[in-house]
Structure 1
Amino acid sequence: MNYVDGYLVPVPTTNREAYLKIALEMAALFKQHGALQVVECWGDDVPEGKVTSFSMAVQRKPEEVVVFSWVVWPSKQARDDGMKKVMEHPSMQKGPEGMPFDGQRMIFGGFQVIVDA
Protein backbone atom coordinates (compact mmCIF):
# COMPACT_ATOMS: atom_id res chain seq x y z
CA MET A 1 0.00 0.00 0.00
CA ASN A 2 0.95 3.64 -0.39
CA TYR A 3 2.72 5.71 2.25
CA VAL A 4 1.55 9.21 3.27
CA ASP A 5 3.37 12.17 4.78
CA GLY A 6 0.94 14.49 6.57
CA TYR A 7 1.42 18.13 7.54
CA LEU A 8 -0.34 20.82 9.57
CA VAL A 9 0.96 24.37 9.14
CA PRO A 10 -0.23 27.70 10.58
CA VAL A 11 -0.11 30.32 7.79
CA PRO A 12 -0.90 34.03 8.15
CA THR A 13 -3.94 34.80 6.01
CA THR A 14 -2.00 37.63 4.34
CA ASN A 15 0.54 35.05 3.09
CA ARG A 16 -1.92 32.88 1.19
CA GLU A 17 -0.50 33.67 -2.27
CA ALA A 18 3.12 33.30 -1.09
CA TYR A 19 2.23 29.96 0.49
CA LEU A 20 0.46 28.80 -2.68
CA LYS A 21 3.54 29.67 -4.76
CA ILE A 22 5.83 27.63 -2.51
CA ALA A 23 3.29 24.79 -2.25
CA LEU A 24 3.16 24.50 -6.05
CA GLU A 25 6.97 24.50 -6.26
CA MET A 26 7.22 21.83 -3.56
CA ALA A 27 4.52 19.72 -5.21
CA ALA A 28 6.53 19.67 -8.44
CA LEU A 29 9.68 18.78 -6.51
CA PHE A 30 7.97 15.95 -4.59
CA LYS A 31 6.48 14.55 -7.80
CA GLN A 32 9.84 14.84 -9.59
CA HIS A 33 11.25 12.56 -6.89
CA GLY A 34 8.53 9.92 -6.85
CA ALA A 35 5.44 11.28 -5.08
CA LEU A 36 2.16 10.18 -6.60
CA GLN A 37 0.02 13.03 -5.29
CA VAL A 38 0.38 16.25 -3.30
CA VAL A 39 -2.67 17.87 -1.69
CA GLU A 40 -2.75 21.28 0.03
CA CYS A 41 -5.92 22.35 1.86
CA TRP A 42 -6.53 25.90 3.13
CA GLY A 43 -8.58 25.77 6.36
CA ASP A 44 -12.17 26.85 5.76
CA ASP A 45 -14.24 25.20 8.49
CA VAL A 46 -11.80 24.35 11.29
CA PRO A 47 -13.60 24.47 14.65
CA GLU A 48 -11.85 25.48 17.83
CA GLY A 49 -11.64 22.68 20.37
CA LYS A 50 -11.93 22.62 24.12
CA VAL A 51 -9.43 19.81 24.65
CA THR A 52 -7.68 19.54 21.28
CA SER A 53 -8.02 20.83 17.72
CA PHE A 54 -6.02 21.55 14.60
CA SER A 55 -5.68 25.17 15.76
CA MET A 56 -4.44 24.18 19.19
CA ALA A 57 -2.00 21.67 17.71
CA VAL A 58 -0.17 24.38 15.73
CA GLN A 59 -0.74 27.17 18.26
CA ARG A 60 -2.65 29.12 15.62
CA LYS A 61 -2.72 32.88 16.11
CA PRO A 62 -5.88 34.93 15.32
CA GLU A 63 -4.47 36.16 12.00
CA GLU A 64 -3.55 32.65 10.82
CA VAL A 65 -5.31 29.74 9.14
CA VAL A 66 -4.45 26.06 9.43
CA VAL A 67 -3.24 24.36 6.26
CA PHE A 68 -3.69 20.58 6.10
CA SER A 69 -1.51 18.83 3.54
CA TRP A 70 -0.39 15.39 2.51
CA VAL A 71 1.97 13.75 0.05
CA VAL A 72 1.22 10.24 -1.24
CA TRP A 73 4.16 7.98 -2.08
CA PRO A 74 4.10 4.48 -3.59
CA SER A 75 5.86 3.06 -0.50
CA LYS A 76 7.83 4.08 2.57
CA GLN A 77 11.06 3.22 0.74
CA ALA A 78 10.03 5.46 -2.17
CA ARG A 79 9.27 8.21 0.36
CA ASP A 80 12.62 7.78 2.12
CA ASP A 81 14.52 7.87 -1.18
CA GLY A 82 12.45 10.72 -2.62
CA MET A 83 12.53 12.84 0.52
CA LYS A 84 16.33 12.49 0.71
CA LYS A 85 16.57 13.88 -2.83
CA VAL A 86 14.08 16.65 -2.04
CA MET A 87 16.05 17.70 1.04
CA GLU A 88 19.30 17.76 -0.99
CA HIS A 89 17.74 20.00 -3.68
CA PRO A 90 19.36 23.48 -3.83
CA SER A 91 16.02 25.20 -3.18
CA MET A 92 15.84 23.45 0.20
CA GLN A 93 19.22 24.83 1.31
CA LYS A 94 17.91 28.37 1.79
CA GLY A 95 16.73 27.80 5.33
CA PRO A 96 13.56 29.14 6.95
CA GLU A 97 14.14 32.80 6.02
CA GLY A 98 11.45 34.06 3.71
CA MET A 99 9.05 31.17 4.38
CA PRO A 100 5.43 32.38 4.53
CA PHE A 101 4.77 30.48 7.78
CA ASP A 102 6.39 29.61 11.12
CA GLY A 103 8.05 26.27 10.48
CA GLN A 104 8.63 25.71 14.19
CA ARG A 105 4.89 25.19 14.60
CA MET A 106 4.55 22.85 11.62
CA ILE A 107 3.50 19.32 12.55
CA PHE A 108 4.38 16.43 10.28
CA GLY A 109 4.61 12.66 10.24
CA GLY A 110 4.67 9.58 8.05
CA PHE A 111 1.78 7.15 7.95
CA GLN A 112 1.18 3.64 6.65
CA VAL A 113 -2.09 3.43 4.74
CA ILE A 114 -4.32 0.77 6.33
CA VAL A 115 -7.61 1.54 4.52
CA ASP A 116 -7.98 3.00 1.03
CA ALA A 117 -11.67 2.70 0.14
Structure 2
Amino acid sequence: MTQQQQDQQQQPYIDGFVVPVPTAQREVYRRHAAAAAAVFKEYGALSVVECWGDDVPEGKLTSFTMAVQRKSEESVVFSWILWPSRAVRDAGMKSAMADPRLDPKANPMPFDGPRMIFGGFEVMFSA
Protein backbone atom coordinates (compact mmCIF):
# COMPACT_ATOMS: atom_id res chain seq x y z
CA MET A 1 0.00 0.00 0.00
CA THR A 2 1.37 3.40 -0.95
CA GLN A 3 1.75 6.27 1.52
CA GLN A 4 -1.09 8.10 -0.24
CA GLN A 5 -3.39 5.09 0.19
CA GLN A 6 -2.40 4.82 3.86
CA ASP A 7 -3.10 8.52 4.37
CA GLN A 8 -6.51 8.18 2.71
CA GLN A 9 -7.37 5.26 4.99
CA GLN A 10 -6.73 7.49 8.02
CA GLN A 11 -8.74 10.52 6.84
CA PRO A 12 -12.43 11.07 7.58
CA TYR A 13 -14.85 9.97 4.90
CA ILE A 14 -18.35 11.24 4.11
CA ASP A 15 -21.35 9.57 2.52
CA GLY A 16 -23.70 12.28 1.23
CA PHE A 17 -27.36 12.02 0.23
CA VAL A 18 -30.05 14.22 -1.28
CA VAL A 19 -33.57 12.83 -1.43
CA PRO A 20 -37.14 14.08 -2.02
CA VAL A 21 -39.50 13.26 0.85
CA PRO A 22 -43.27 13.80 0.95
CA THR A 23 -43.68 16.87 3.14
CA ALA A 24 -46.57 15.22 4.99
CA GLN A 25 -44.22 12.35 5.90
CA ARG A 26 -41.65 14.48 7.74
CA GLU A 27 -42.08 12.76 11.11
CA VAL A 28 -42.20 9.30 9.52
CA TYR A 29 -38.95 10.13 7.71
CA ARG A 30 -37.36 11.46 10.92
CA ARG A 31 -38.13 8.21 12.75
CA HIS A 32 -36.86 6.13 9.82
CA ALA A 33 -33.64 8.17 9.62
CA ALA A 34 -33.08 7.97 13.38
CA ALA A 35 -33.41 4.18 13.29
CA ALA A 36 -31.01 3.95 10.34
CA ALA A 37 -28.55 6.31 12.06
CA ALA A 38 -28.36 3.97 15.05
CA VAL A 39 -27.43 1.11 12.71
CA PHE A 40 -24.76 3.16 10.91
CA LYS A 41 -23.27 4.28 14.23
CA GLU A 42 -23.25 0.68 15.46
CA TYR A 43 -21.09 -0.16 12.43
CA GLY A 44 -18.59 2.64 12.92
CA ALA A 45 -20.12 5.94 11.78
CA LEU A 46 -19.10 8.89 13.93
CA SER A 47 -22.24 10.90 13.22
CA VAL A 48 -25.28 11.08 10.98
CA VAL A 49 -26.81 14.45 10.07
CA GLU A 50 -30.28 14.84 8.52
CA CYS A 51 -31.37 18.27 7.25
CA TRP A 52 -34.91 19.18 6.15
CA GLY A 53 -34.86 21.78 3.38
CA ASP A 54 -36.60 25.05 4.22
CA ASP A 55 -34.72 27.43 1.89
CA VAL A 56 -34.07 25.38 -1.24
CA PRO A 57 -34.53 27.60 -4.30
CA GLU A 58 -35.69 26.36 -7.66
CA GLY A 59 -32.95 26.51 -10.23
CA LYS A 60 -32.93 27.46 -13.87
CA LEU A 61 -30.05 25.20 -14.89
CA THR A 62 -29.43 23.03 -11.81
CA SER A 63 -30.66 22.81 -8.23
CA PHE A 64 -31.33 20.32 -5.47
CA THR A 65 -35.01 20.31 -6.42
CA MET A 66 -34.26 19.60 -10.06
CA ALA A 67 -31.67 16.94 -9.22
CA VAL A 68 -34.17 14.83 -7.26
CA GLN A 69 -37.15 15.72 -9.49
CA ARG A 70 -38.98 17.14 -6.48
CA LYS A 71 -42.75 17.26 -6.77
CA SER A 72 -44.84 20.09 -5.32
CA GLU A 73 -45.87 18.01 -2.29
CA GLU A 74 -42.27 17.05 -1.45
CA SER A 75 -39.38 18.59 0.45
CA VAL A 76 -35.66 18.09 -0.15
CA VAL A 77 -33.59 16.34 2.52
CA PHE A 78 -29.81 16.74 2.59
CA SER A 79 -27.89 14.35 4.82
CA TRP A 80 -24.48 12.91 5.43
CA ILE A 81 -22.72 10.23 7.43
CA LEU A 82 -19.27 10.94 8.87
CA TRP A 83 -16.95 7.94 9.08
CA PRO A 84 -13.45 7.92 10.61
CA SER A 85 -11.94 6.57 7.36
CA ARG A 86 -12.80 5.06 4.01
CA ALA A 87 -11.86 1.60 5.31
CA VAL A 88 -14.28 1.90 8.24
CA ARG A 89 -16.95 3.22 5.87
CA ASP A 90 -16.51 0.37 3.40
CA ALA A 91 -16.80 -2.28 6.12
CA GLY A 92 -19.51 -0.43 8.04
CA MET A 93 -21.67 0.28 5.00
CA LYS A 94 -21.40 -3.35 3.87
CA SER A 95 -22.51 -4.54 7.32
CA ALA A 96 -25.28 -1.95 7.54
CA MET A 97 -26.68 -2.86 4.12
CA ALA A 98 -26.80 -6.53 5.20
CA ASP A 99 -28.47 -5.68 8.53
CA PRO A 100 -32.13 -6.79 8.60
CA ARG A 101 -33.10 -3.53 10.35
CA LEU A 102 -32.37 -1.70 7.08
CA ASP A 103 -34.13 -4.20 4.83
CA PRO A 104 -36.73 -2.21 2.86
CA LYS A 105 -39.20 -5.08 3.24
CA ALA A 106 -39.06 -4.82 7.05
CA ASN A 107 -38.45 -1.06 7.20
CA PRO A 108 -39.86 0.60 4.04
CA MET A 109 -38.22 3.84 2.99
CA PRO A 110 -40.66 6.77 3.32
CA PHE A 111 -39.42 8.30 0.06
CA ASP A 112 -38.87 7.40 -3.59
CA GLY A 113 -35.50 5.63 -3.40
CA PRO A 114 -34.69 5.74 -7.13
CA ARG A 115 -34.61 9.57 -6.96
CA MET A 116 -32.03 9.57 -4.15
CA ILE A 117 -28.65 11.02 -5.06
CA PHE A 118 -25.73 9.64 -3.08
CA GLY A 119 -21.98 9.34 -3.13
CA GLY A 120 -18.84 8.93 -1.06
CA PHE A 121 -16.41 11.78 -0.56
CA GLU A 122 -12.87 12.23 0.72
CA VAL A 123 -12.55 15.13 3.13
CA MET A 124 -10.16 17.65 1.55
CA PHE A 125 -10.15 19.87 4.62
CA SER A 126 -12.40 20.86 7.47
CA ALA A 127 -12.37 24.30 9.09
Fold in common (TM above 0.5)? yes
Paired residue secondary structure (2:87) = helix
| Distance across 2 between alignment mates of 1:114 and 1:37 | 18
The answer (yes or no) to whether the contact 1:35–1:72 under 8 Å persists in 2 is yes
Whether contact under 8 Å (2:101, 2:107) holds in the other structure is: no
- Provide the aligned C-alpha RMSD in A: 1.3
Give the C-alpha shift of residue 64 in structure 1.
Answer: 0.3
Structure 2: stretches of 5+ with no match in the other structure:
1-10
Counterpart CA distance in 2 for 1:16 and 1:25 is 14
Amino acid of the residue matched to residue 112 of structure 1? E
> What letter matches 1:32 in structure 2?
E
Partner Cα separation in structure 2 for residue 31 and residue 98 of structure 1: 20
2:116 equivalent in structure 1: 106
The answer for unaligned runs of 5 or more in structure 1 is none
For 1:110 and 1:21, how far apart are their aligned partners in 2? Answer: 24
TM-score when scaled to structure 1?
Answer: 0.96
Give the TM-score taking structure 2 as reference length: 0.88
Q: Which residue of 2 aligns with 1:56?
A: 66
- Larger Rg: 1 or 2? 2
Aligned identity (percent) is 62
Instruction: State the match for 1:18 in structure 2.
Output: 28
